Amino acid sequence: MKLLYSPASPYSAKARMAARHLGIEITEVKTDTNANPPDLIDNNPLGKIPVLILDGEPPVYDSVAIMHYLDRLSGGKLYPKKDAKRTEVEVLEALCDGIMDCLLAIIYERRFHPEDKIHQPWIDKQWEKVVRGLDHLEKNLPKTGKKLNGGHFALAALIGYLDLRFNGQWAEGRPELASWPDIFSKRFSHYGEMKSVG
């Protein structure tokens, strides 16, 4: 198995951390999506990462599908068995992924438009969603015991990306959320080396 990823991608970070936590060996292949390499395009027509390439089976993408694949591969170690608890974790993951979508929309708006073409109302709208999501997480952080799940890895990936691209812009007034990585890294020692880096 090999995973096409980018070091700055929070979705890649989520999948990479989950695989490491589960002890699933995956060859990680750093991939430049802007170059449209054949390995990427041939395995995901959208040209997005992460992509999990399997031997003799169709590739798996996006990060949510990869997480559920890893869960099945591990015998159900990544998501709770009980339906209500599993739904809770899946909703946490969806919230974290949704906040990451908004953050990336802001980055792309700034990166791919000339300064005079940047649409500030669009950035403001995305940031409003980010603020609401982070405020919700501040008040509703998951319990983080010995058993880590997909929601924990999504949250860790989100905070890693916030630290990478929005450092100094999100943690003030959210002490619980800002200190959560300390709790998480006690349960997952590889966090520092695997969170999004750019």
Q: Which residue has the higher pLDDT, 190 or 172?
A: 172
Is residue 184 within 8 A of residue 152, CB to CB? The reply is yes
pLDDT per position as a tens digit, 99-117: 999 999 999 999 999 999 9
Contacts of 5 (CB under 8 A, 6+ apart): 12, 15, 16, 28, 29, 30, 31, 49, 50
pLDDT at 198: 61
Domain identity same for 97 and 183: yes
| Residue 38, in any domain of the structure | yes
Give me the number of domains the chain comprises: 2
| Residue 78, in any domain of the structure | no
**pLDDT tops 90 at residue 195:** no
Residue 152: CATH number of its domain: 1.20.1050.10
Q: At what angle do helices 120-139 and 175-187 cross, to 10 degrees?
A: 70
Domain that holds residue 40: 2-73
| Residue 117, in any domain of the structure | yes
Domain identity same for 87 and 16: no
| Residue 25, in any domain of the structure | yes
pLDDT at 97: 98
Domain identity same for 141 and 173: yes
Residue 37: CATH number of its domain: 3.40.30.10
| Residue 196, in any domain of the structure | no
* Boundary of a domain, candidates 73, 108, 135: 73
Which residue in this structure is represented by tokens 């812009």? Answer: 169
pTM beyond cutoff 0.85: yes
Is residue 17 within 8 A of residue 156, CB to CB? The reply is yes
Q: Mean pLDDT over residues 51-68, rounded?
A: 97
